[in-house]
């Protein structure tokens, strides 16, 4: 059996640019799907797949997943980066999908079988003030969620994770300015209230999103320690990773990191030195299931757990890939959720099922998710002046900062 074609499918049923790789074989009806979504630069990924990986892959044996990964990874000479990694990650997932279909098994069975029945999810609670966040977190708790990420608007500022909108929105943070100090003063007050009102039955999470100076992030993590967060995410940007040593000396607040890493080697020092507690790998951005599985195995020996990135700018195929690892990795921590709307579920039959705060697998072979090519074409990428890129986030004096 040989790979006969490799192509991309671009669709945006929720207004978010999704890129899916379809690897076809010369066996009629046998193909695999992978997620290669890099929402901010989707067409660059399409070019990488169709103009560079396709000629490299056509005629190869789809069973040779490891050799395909290793040889494709070095084929560009300059390695890594989000464009090339997402392209390769989509292909890698698709090859695992094919292998599972050939075996008649879900991919998690090929990875050693299930360690658990379902993957615990964390939901996203937000609000314009502390009371609104509390009400939303309480609602999730009553729906069966044991983990809730809590974000809050800082009045007058463009605050990450706090946008409240009635329907699907493309990525973008608006034009309001941002200042770190009001945010750092508000967040401890939020979690003091939440822990007092919600009790200890729910695990609370928060995402700093690399938006504050490192020393302020150290102080914030220390102030949050009395409220026993399940984890504090991305207190530093990847460029400031040296601060993790200082942070570890100052607080026992668990730390999640890595959503922005695009080279597997970036994780190694933080894992080896036990400076983080959860890896936030965006699986396509790190090169696919093969590499994510290896990172999870490394983490197991250092007491680090998985918390794969699972936002709306990850297709249902990508979420299904997350779930395969969630079920098979003993050191699973928690899974970020995105609830897909009806249009997306129609485009992607077999979306993982969510109920009672968990994501449940199907027994379908491979990743378990398909795509309706014709229906996907009805949702083209929306018009956008930046073609999906994030607009700049600026401080009051106009300085551009990390998003």
| Residues that are catalytic | 160, 209
Rounded Cα–Cα distance for residues 68 and 290 (Å) = 11
Residue 20 DSSP symbol: E
Q: Are 295 and 279 in contact (CB under 8 A)?
A: yes
Rounded Cα–Cα distance for residues 349 and 342 (Å) = 10
Q: Are 23 and 57 in contact (CB under 8 A)?
A: yes
Tokens 């978010």 correspond to what residue? 16
The count of other CB atoms within 10 Å of the CB of residue 89 is: 32
Q: Are 91 and 21 in contact (CB under 8 A)?
A: yes
Single out the residue of 30, 34, 15, 24 nearest to residue 316, CA to CA.
Answer: 34
3-state helix, strand, coil in the chain (%, to 5): 40, 15, 45
| Structure token digits, residue 198 | 């919600």
Q: How far is CA 61 from the centre of its chain?
A: 29
| Structure token digits, residue 3 | 């790979």
Non-local (6+) Cβ contacts of 274 within 8 A are 248, 302, 303, 304
Single out the residue of 96, 72, 91, 101 nearest to residue 20, CA to CA.
Answer: 91
């Amino acid at each position: 059996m040989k790979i006969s074609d490799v192509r991309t499918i671009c669709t945006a049923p929720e207004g978010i640019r999704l890129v899916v790789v379809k690897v076809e074989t010369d066996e009629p009806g046998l193909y695999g799907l992978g997620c290669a979504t890099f929402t901010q630069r989707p067409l660059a990924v399409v070019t990488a797949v169709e103009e560079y990986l396709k000629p490299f892959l056509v005629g190869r044996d789809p069973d040779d997943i490891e050799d395909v990964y290793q040889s494709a990874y070095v084929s560009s000479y300059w390695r890594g980066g989000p464009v090339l990694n997402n392209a390769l990650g989509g292909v890698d997932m698709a090859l695992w999908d094919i292998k599972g279909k050939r075996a008649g098994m879900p991919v998690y069975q090929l990875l050693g079988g299930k360690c658990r029945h379902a993957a615990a999810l964390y939901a996203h609670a937000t609000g314009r003030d502390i009371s609104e966040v509390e009400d939303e977190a309480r609602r999730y708790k009553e729906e069966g969620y044991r983990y809730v990420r809590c974000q809050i608007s800082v009045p007058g500022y463009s605050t990450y994770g706090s946008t409240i909108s009635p329907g699907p929105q493309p990525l973008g943070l608006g034009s309001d300015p941002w200042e770190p100090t009001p945010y750092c003063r508000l967040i401890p007050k939020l979690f003091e209230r939440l822990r007092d009102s919600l009790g200890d039955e729910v695990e609370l999470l928060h995402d700093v999103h690399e938006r504050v100076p490192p020393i302020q992030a150290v102080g914030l993590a220390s102030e949050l320690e009395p409220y026993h967060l399940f984890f504090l995410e991305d207190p530093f940007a990847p460029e400031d990773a040296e601060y993790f040593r200082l942070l570890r000396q100052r607080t026992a607040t668990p730390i999640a990191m890595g959503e922005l890493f695009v080279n597997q080697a970036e994780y190694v020092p933080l894992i080896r030195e036990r400076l983080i507690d959860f890896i936030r790998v965006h699986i396509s951005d790190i090169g696919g299931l093969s590499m994510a599985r290896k990172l999870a195995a490394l983490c197991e020996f250092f007491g680090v757990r998985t918390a794969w990135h699972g936002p709306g700018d990850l297709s249902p195929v990508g979420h299904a890939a997350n779930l395969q690892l969630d079920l098979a990795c003993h050191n699973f921590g928690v899974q970020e959720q995105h609830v897909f709307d009806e249009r997306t579920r129609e485009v992607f039959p077999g979306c993982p099922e969510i109920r009672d705060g968990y994501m449940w697998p199907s027994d379908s072979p491979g990743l378990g998710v398909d795509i309706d090519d014709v229906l996907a074409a009805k949702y083209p990428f929306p018009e956008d002046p930046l073609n999906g890129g994030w607009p700049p986030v600026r401080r009051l004096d106009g300085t551009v900062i990390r998003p």
